[in-house]
């Protein structure tokens, strides 16, 4: 069993596992070359391209896990929601949701609508061997914010106005999105991912009381759906029979697929995010890991180097890495990561050195 999976379960590891959010992306020149001229959503629909992009940081950095190259709006687009990813802006929604009629226009997701994700995961599992593959999806609050605001927002004013003013509409939307996300993660699990991460990028805009009232029930539903995921794999057992050596390298799936929950600016929400039911809670750079460990209900933690530290002199980076590894020992398990995603201007050689340093500790 890999150190990454052991850490997710709070079991002893030989060395602290490390991977980086957005490790497969714009910081790599090979990524920029292979993506040249191909829109983001189209890139996510090409299994061979997804496979190659996902593998690039594993080859270059020697990280302990790969994360599927995709985007949180992929399942929405696949279901039929009018969303596009505009360069320099992010997701842009054609018809923002304002009422229950808008919620009714959001279709459920059928697994066959993301068959290209299933194919990409299967290709990756074969290529990665014993290296775990992390699947991921967006959490209901963050997806709802995009759909209500019509795109990225700093203050989420339209989102909160609907959440407070039309609670029935809000919960209906989040219930629909939780179903889409559960289906999307189920496809990835059946195809063979070793773990999944639920991103709630914008949840930090909420108080704990609001999170518990308006968000936690829907995120909890998603994590509860993952409990049944290993049994879902039984329906796809023919793929494992066809690849016995692959199954031997993935024995940890028999015991279930660990889940990670991550958001930005969520210091006030860490306990509540743990209560949603993940196996691991991701922590951004604002909260020391030893403090976070005391808040997440005895769960392993993931994080949490400030991505901006990677632009500092190496002696600063080394000091911060050592501090985070030491603080992570307060939790039953620690997966080293950044406190958010890799920035496009990051020097890839620095990332490789960070991986080597973490492994040496």
d(CA 55, CA 28): 12
Nearest-CA neighbor of 142 among 69, 203, 71?
A: 203
Instruction: Look at residue 241 in the predicted model and tell me its pLDDT.
Output: 27
Averaged pLDDT of the chain? 92
Span 99-127, average pLDDT? 97
Instruction: Look at residue 292 in the predicted model and tell me its pLDDT.
Output: 98
Say if CB 207 and CB 271 are below 8 A apart. no
In the numeric block, the tokens 């927002």 are attached to 153
Instruction: Look at residue 248 in the predicted model and tell me its pLDDT.
Output: 30
Q: Which of 71, 118, 200, 210 is catalytic?
A: 71
Residue 255's pLDDT band (cuts 50, 70, 90) = low
71 noted as active-site residue: yes
pLDDT at 250 > cutoff 50: no
35 noted as active-site residue: yes
176 noted as active-site residue: no
118 noted as active-site residue: no
Span 18-31, average pLDDT? 94
Span 46-101, pLDDT tens digits: 999 999 999 999 999 999 999 999 999 999 999 999 999 888 888 999 999 999 99
Instruction: Look at residue 230 in the predicted model and tell me its pLDDT.
Output: 53
Helical pair 140-149 and 157-165, crossing angle rounded to 10 deg: 110
Say if CB 92 and CB 120 are below 8 A apart. no
Span 276-289, pLDDT tens digits: 999 999 999 999 99
Span 177-224, pLDDT tens digits: 999 999 999 999 999 999 999 999 999 999 999 999 999 999 999 999
Q: Which of 31, 122, 146, 233 is catalytic?
A: 146
**Class of 3-360 in CATH:** alpha beta
290 noted as active-site residue: no
Q: Find the DSSP H helices in 131-194.
A: 140-149, 157-165, 167-191
Q: Which of 3, 9, 31, 35 is catalytic?
A: 35
Span 136-151, pLDDT tens digits: 999 999 999 999 999 8
d(CA 299, CA 8): 9
């Amino acid at each position: 069993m890999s150190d990454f999976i052991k850490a997710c379960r709070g079991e002893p590891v030989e060395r602290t596992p490390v991977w980086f959010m957005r490790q497969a992306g714009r910081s790599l020149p090979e990524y920029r070359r292979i993506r040249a001229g191909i829109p983001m959503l189209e890139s996510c629909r090409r299994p061979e391209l997804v496979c190659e992009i996902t593998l690039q940081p594993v080859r270059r950095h020697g990280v302990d896990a790969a994360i599927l190259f995709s985007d949180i709006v992929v399942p929405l687009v696949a279901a039929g929601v009018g969303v596009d990813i505009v360069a320099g802006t992010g997701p842009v929604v054609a018809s923002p949701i304002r009422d229950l009629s808008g919620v009714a226009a959001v279709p459920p997701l059928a697994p066959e609508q993301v068959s290209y994700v299933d194919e990409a995961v299967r290709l990756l599992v074969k290529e990665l061997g014993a290296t775990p593959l992390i699947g991921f999806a967006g959490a209901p609050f963050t997806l709802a914010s995009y759909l209500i605001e019509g795109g990225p927002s700093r203050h989420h004013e339209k989102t909160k106005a609907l959440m407070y003013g039309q609670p029935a509409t809000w919960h209906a939307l989040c219930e629909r999105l939780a179903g889409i996300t559960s289906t999307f993660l189920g496809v990835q699990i059946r195809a063979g991912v070793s773990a999944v991460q639920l991103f709630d990028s914008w949840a930090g805009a909420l108080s704990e009381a609001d999170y518990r009232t308006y968000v936690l029930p829907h995120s909890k539903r998603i994590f509860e759906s993952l409990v049944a995921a290993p049994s879902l794999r039984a329906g796809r057992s023919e793929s494992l029979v066809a690849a016995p050596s692959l199954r031997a390298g993935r024995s940890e799936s028999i015991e279930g697929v660990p889940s990670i929950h991550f958001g930005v600016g969520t210091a006030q929400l860490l306990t509540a995010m743990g209560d949603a039911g993940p196996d691991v809670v991701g922590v951004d750079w604002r909260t020391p890991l030893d403090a976070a460990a005391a808040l997440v209900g005895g769960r392993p933690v993931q994080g949490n180097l400030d991505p901006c530290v990677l632009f500092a002199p190496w002696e600063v980076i080394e000091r911060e890495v050592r501090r985070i590894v030491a603080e992570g020992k307060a939790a039953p398990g620690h997966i080293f990561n950044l406190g958010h995603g890799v920035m496009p201007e990051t020097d890839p050689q620095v990332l490789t050195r960070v991986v080597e340093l973490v492994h040496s500790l």
